[in-house]
Amino acid sequence: MQLLKDKIISDGIVKAGGVLKVDSFLNHQIDIPLYNEMGKEFARLFKGQEITKILTIEASGIGIACIAAQYFNVPVVFAKKMQSKNLDGEIYTSQVHSFTHGKDYTIRVSKKFISKADRVLIIDDFLANGKALIGLINILEQAGATLVGAGIAIEKGFQEGGRALREQGINIQSLAIIKEMDENKIVFKD
Ligand code: 5GP
């Protein structure tokens, strides 16, 4: 998606350790017209797939998922990272290793909100090693729900997640795939 690529080039900052900082438009301050265009693009890419729910993970996925959901007309469910007294009843849990924080955490989704009748699109801001996606897919497997695919804003194609998950047959659509990046340049796959 050219608009997103242009924004990454103009406002993205490459940090040490292969981290792309996009907090001026994607995951701290949010560019709403850009989010809207991303939502429309996800709707175009997954058109006709009879999606019943969008699943994402807090915190950065929530905004993207909510704006996109308006174009699918379905609810958004987000996996919680924090244990909370409000998260009562039965829950699905899965372990995720965080790329940006370098530690493991548990994600939780109430069994009330995902069932085997659901056809689910996962949406997230980044795909790096694929651990967040694997954790969300694991929750869908526990629920017996159907995974339609994953819509990702920025995929770091030089990390292994996208290739490994596509090899498993998962339909991953990324709006911008970075082939390589360093402090001086960011190169997209196409
Ligand atoms: P993965 O689980 O695929 O290794 O990493 C995906 C998660 O890590 C995303 O949900 C995102 O929050 C975070 N992440 C991975 N790489 C980056 C990055 O380069 N920049 C930022 N801002 N977040 C990242």
Determine the Cα–Cα distance for residues 159 and 151; give it in Å rounded to an integer: 17
Determine the Cα–Cα distance for residues 190 and 178; give it in Å rounded to an integer: 9
By percentage, how much of the chain surpasses pLDDT 70? 100
Q: What is the pLDDT of residue 86?
A: 75
CATH code, domain with 32: 3.40.50.2020
Q: Which residues line ligand 1 (CB under 6 A)?
A: 19-20, 22, 27, 60, 99-100, 124-132, 156, 161
Determine the Cα–Cα distance for residues 40 and 1; give it in Å rounded to an integer: 11
> In ligand 1, which atom is closest to the CA atom of 20?
19
The total domain count for the chain is 1
Q: What is the pLDDT of residues 23-50, one digit of tens each?
A: 999 999 999 999 999 999 999 999 999 9
Nearest to 65, CA basis, from 131, 141, 121:
121
Domain that holds residue 167: 2-188
Tell me the CA–centroid distance for residue 81 and ligand 1, in Å: 15
Q: What is the pLDDT of residues 74-129, one digit of tens each?
A: 999 999 998 777 777 799 999 999 888 889 999 999 999 999 999 999 999 999 99
Statement: residue 183 has pLDDT above 80: yes
Confidence of residue 153 (pLDDT cuts 50, 70, 90): very high
Q: What is the pLDDT of residue 89?
A: 79
Determine the Cα–Cα distance for residues 14 and 34; give it in Å rounded to an integer: 20
Q: Compute the mean pLDDT over every residue in the chain, rounded to the nearest whole number.
A: 96
Burial class of residue 53, CB neighbours in 10 A (0-12, 13-18, 19+): buried
> In ligand 1, which atom is closest to the CA atom of 61?
10
Q: Is the pTM of this model over 0.95?
A: yes
Q: What is the pLDDT of residue 99?
A: 82
Q: What is the pLDDT of residue 170?
A: 98
